[in-house]
Structure 1
Amino acid sequence: MVCLVGVNPWKVFVDSASNATGVGAGIVIITPEGIKLEHSFRLGFRASNNEAEYEALLAGLKVVLDLGAKEVQIYSDSRVLVNQVQESFKAKDPQMVEYLRVVKQTMRYFSSVKVEQVARGQNRHADSLATLASSIANEVPRLIKVELVVEPSIIVKTGVSQVTIVGKC
């Protein structure tokens, strides 16, 4: 017998960034086992802040769907996005109506999806990934590896040096 009580959902933090160089989306996925997956997306088209937030949400949903997730918690610092998805706000702009329709359609592939608003401080990681993607000037795909440097690259010998005092004897 398999007991699924207490199964942790996948957590997905989404954010977007827009600047003079471009528009980007960032997602941070935390698997039920606690593994953190990070992804930056550069949008190859102009998008409003709200459109970019929806693109980030859709990217996150598509990635975890491809990874086999069934229960998902989405976290975003976008008040508009969260409230439209939760149906507290009505989407009026035709672009937002269509984004919301596609999000709702994608959410049907999961057994459970919760969308919550978080403070910007709780979403810094996704924000930094979105900013990275929006700031890249050229369209070259890249892999950015982040490594920990645990020790200085130089060795400074410490010890006792001979000291000569010049003066009165």
Structure 2
Amino acid sequence: MTDTPEAQPPDSRGDDSVTRTLNLVGERWTMLILREAFFGVQRYGQFAQNLGIPRPTLSNRLGKLVDVGLLIRERYAGGPIRSDYEYRLTQAGLDLFPAIQILMEWGNTYLPDDPAGSGSTVAWTHDVCGSPTHPRLTCDQCGEPVTAHNVHLTGDTP
């Protein structure tokens, strides 16, 4: 199965924010490039090496991420002529961090490296206090945890 629009099932909700976001970042290489950017990778060669991605695909995806405003491309001093650019996350790109963090946490829980299911393979450490931390959605008004069982959609829904 391919990721072409023809292969996608029809969406009964139309062009909602989830559909628009997945159209932008839902392709496998795109999310992996963003993950690497969150890990501090900035240079083309490092993305290529870390991901094992075909270079034409990497060039295409980086260009798309720059075009949509998730990355900026900046020259850096002292680099070779043909690869003297760095790719840095914009504020829009940085704002995707919670999505990456939650996907990693879900994978640690439900798809651990160890087939015996011994737990997390990647951990987040909070720089401020030095403690391990786990992503958690909370209400921005009352601070209580937000789950699928205690929220509902409002606004235009079918």
Q: What's the TM-score, normalizing by structure 2? A: 0.25
Larger Rg: 1
- Select the structure with the greater relative contact order (CA < 8 A; seq sep ≥ 6): 1
Greater strand content: 1
Greater helix content: 2
Q: What's the TM-score, normalizing by structure 1? A: 0.24
